[in-house]
A = this chain, B = another copy of it.
């Protein structure tokens, strides 16, 4: 399920969802990415000072990627309705 993210919090939430769907703990993800469990926690909680490096590394480890696109006028589009 693709996640739209316009804020750091939404970005963190999407990452947390994915991590959980993979059955990983923050600590386990931390090992794979050489990041501290505390750092993963901060990212998932949407700390806006988090570095892009951290987001990129975590997304790679979770098999995620980002699509940059023009904002849709509303929050919902066709696929959300049907």
- A64–B56 contact, CB under 8 A? no
A30 to chain B, nearest CB (A): 18
Is residue A28 within 8 Å, beta carbon to beta carbon, of the partner chain?
A: no
- B53–A49 contact, CB under 8 A? yes
Is residue A71 within 8 Å, beta carbon to beta carbon, of the partner chain?
A: yes
Copies of this chain, count: 2
Is residue A59 within 8 Å, beta carbon to beta carbon, of the partner chain?
A: yes
List of B residues within 8 angstroms of A68 by Cβ: 2-3, 5, 11, 14-15, 18, 59, 64-66
Given A4-B67, A11-B56, A52-B52, output 14 extra A-B contacts at Cβ < 8 Å: A5-B65, A6-B59, A6-B65, A11-B66, A11-B68, A18-B68, A47-B52, A52-B55, A63-B71, A64-B68, A65-B69, A65-B72, A66-B68, A66-B69
